[in-house]
Amino acid sequence: MYEFALVWDWLSFAVRWLHIITVIAWIGSSFYFIALDLGLRKNPDLPKGIYGEAWQVHGGGFYRIQKYLIAPDQMPEHLTWFKWESYATWLSGFALLAIVYYAGADIFLIDPTVAELSKGQAICISLLSIGLGWLVYDQLCKSVLGQDGTRLMVLLYFVLVAMAWGYTEVFTGRAALVHLGAFTATIMSANVFFIIIPNQKIVVADLINSREPDPNLGKQAKQRSTHNNYLTLPIIFLMLSVHYPLAFASEYNWIIASLVFLMGVTIRHYFNSKHSGLGNPIWTWFATILLFLAIMWLS
């Protein structure tokens, strides 16, 4: 039994390490392309169909990057797909959730003072909430409400607040914040798997068959990519929160989580504005500090 416990602990450590590696790869590529997309510059000398270009220097070399408005006239011989970082992040994260919270449900997932649940009931709530969450989010994006980006973002925020509160009503404080992170990360990874990559594959198929690609496919993918951009930083906070009882062991932990999502918006707004050349909104950092002070006070 002692040997099994050691092996299981090392397994948890190994999967956690793998998860962090894949998270770094996914966030790194995501943040890079968001910054690249926002930093593209237009000039009259660009060839037809080119939306913009950027010159960058790194590692002693210069790079000239151009973005097509829809797609090139012909498919290049070599095309790099950025998708495996997302898939590996979700798979390793779910494996870690199973190793820590499903296998150790009696310790880490269930709190009898919060809700009298059996191990099976708690795991079912976990799985159903994560899966159904994606379906609700996806339908909202495809509905009439999804046609207004700002209105949709506000609505999705209230969905996340409701989920934050709901998780604290059934799980331990630690598991509640982790599940909110898993719920949000599932939305992000599913965006890549079900929308972004399939839409890109349709565009590639259209090009191969000499058909005009549908520009709406790119708009849908851009919408989901934008959501992913603003959700990334809160997920990191939620995953780190398991190491800080001040964050999860408070009766106001769901409010803390709600404020964290707002901090994700203020931080990303600063960098998005700066990369797109729309200014240097320093006020976002003051707003972030005030939000964090509120979190500290609530804890």
3-state SS record for the chain: CHHHHHHHHHHHHHHHHHHHHHHHHHHHHHHHHHHHHHCCECCCCCCCCEEEEEEEEECCEEEEEEEECCCCCCCCCCCCCCCHHHHHHHHHHHHHHHHHHHCCHHHHHCCCCCCCCCHHHHHHHHHHHHHHHHHHHHHHHHCHHHHCHHHHHHHHHHHHHHHHHHHHCCCCHHHHHHHHHHHHHHHHHHHHHHHHHHHHHHHHHHHHCCCCCCHHHHHHHHHHHHHHHHHHHHHHHHHHHHHCHHHHCCCCHHHHHHHHHHHHHHHHHHHHHHHCCCCCCCHHHHHHHHHHHHHHHHC
pLDDT tens across the length of the chain (299 residues): 778 889 999 999 999 999 999 999 999 999 999 999 999 998 888 888 898 999 999 999 999 999 987 777 777 888 888 999 999 999 999 999 999 999 999 999 999 999 999 999 999 999 999 999 999 999 999 999 888 999 999 999 999 999 999 999 999 999 999 999 999 999 999 999 999 999 989 988 887 787 888 888 888 988 999 999 999 999 999 999 999 999 999 999 999 999 999 999 999 999 999 998 889 999 999 999 999 999 999 99
